[in-house]
Structure 1
Amino acid sequence: MINILDKTFVPFISRETIEKRIAELAAGINADYAESCPVFIIVLNGAFLFASELVKNVSLACEINFIRLSSYSQTTSTGSVREIIGMDANIAGRDVVIIEDIVDTGLTMSQLIAKVKSMSPKSVEIATLLHKPEALKTPVDMRYVGFEIENKFVVGYGLDYDGIGRNLDAIYVLA
């Protein structure tokens, strides 16, 4: 068990399990984009650890870009998405893979996909470490999903509770 601020969390997905699954996702990306130089758009802050491990396992020439969005307050999605740092890559005619830490309601991702598609990429795919199918309010097509989990609040491996817990090397669930 670990305590973060006023909450207690218990182990949920181990570092070893996460690393093994990330290697599998990277192998899929390597195969799917063997003839391409994809642009990875990493959604900050949460996806930084997942993205780092994922792109280290990708053996292709690629470009990396970042965007920062916010839609959470404490343990709950606010339902609105704010863009804090905008993306500056020219993605017209390019294959794009958006790397996200977690897709739960789908609201943030659907808005980001619309923004990316408005920039005329060749293709857009999603790579997410976690997906909560029960929480989905807006359909989102995700090609690369690390783990489908129940609709529970999790921290670690980039995911936080009020800014704390991102540095944990495994994923923990609210007790």
Structure 2
Amino acid sequence: MILTSQQIANRVRRLGTEITRDYQGRDLVIIGVLKGAATFTVDLARAIDLPVVMDWAAVSTYGRGSTAGTPRLLKDIGEELTGRDVLIVEDILDTGTTLSWLMARLRERAPASVNCCVLLRKPHAVAKPVEPRYVGFDITEHWVAGYGIDYAERHRNLGDIHEVRLPSAALSASSS
């Protein structure tokens, strides 16, 4: 196990406090990136003590257990962003390909600002220029699953985050 559900919950509360302070009095739109960041986005939104609007985007650069390369927009947001502050919530910042692509796409819609909050960052893997404003945890190069993050579309339901050691790795469905 890499992170327990309690470690995650504590960090999400602290991130919510920081975001509340930083966006006080502003018009904040939170955009969760499906599917991996769904759990994190909902928990984070509940930890933010501000009126926020939530929307969802789905972008894919992954296949079943392997990277596919070029980002593809699977679901666009419906919110108008002009003049509003946007906070993209993502599960993992790995190479930065997906997040830099999505940030550039959303900046074209004339928001007041575009920032991002990532649950996990692999600092040594980032190849694109992405500087998240908020980071939950830095991790090493492992494949991970749990807390909404999948491996081959499985294990999103785990409360803790686990390292996936082999493609055939079976993670316990029970988690504390």
Normalised to the residue count of structure 1, the TM-score between the two structures is 0.92
Summarize deviations over 1:122-171 as a string: whole Å, max 9, x none: 01110110011111111101011000110110000111011101110010
Residue 77 of structure 1 deviates from its aligned partner by 2.2
Q: Is structure 2 residue 90 aligned with structure 1 residue 100? A: yes
- Larger strand proportion of the pair: 1
> What is the rounded CA distance, in whole Å, between the counterparts of 2:14 and 2:74 in structure 1?
31
Residue 76 of structure 1 deviates from its aligned partner by 2.8
Identify unmatched segments of 5+ residues in structure 1.
Answer: 1-10
- Kindly provide the amino acid, as one letter, of the partner of residue 21 in structure 1: R
Question: Which of 43, 63, 77 is equivalent to 1:73?
Answer: 63
- Kindly provide the amino acid, as one letter, of the partner of residue 118 in structure 1: E
Q: Is structure 2 residue 113 aligned with structure 1 residue 123? A: yes
Name the residue aligned to 1:14: 4
Q: Is structure 2 residue 129 aligned with structure 1 residue 139? A: yes
Name the residue aligned to 1:87: 77
Name the residue aligned to 2:39: 49
Identify unmatched segments of 5+ residues in structure 2.
Answer: 166-176
1:133 is paired with a residue of what secondary structure?
coil
Residue 67 of structure 1 deviates from its aligned partner by 0.5
Aligned residues: 165
Q: Highest relative contact order (Cα 8 Å, sep 6+), 1 or 2? A: 1
The percentage of counterpart residues that share the same residue type is: 36
CA RMSD, Structure 1 to Structure 2 (Å): 0.8
Summarize deviations over 1:13-62 as a string: whole Å, max 9, x none: 00000000000100000000111120001100000110111001111011
Residue 91 of structure 1 deviates from its aligned partner by 0.4
Residue 114 of structure 1 deviates from its aligned partner by 0.5
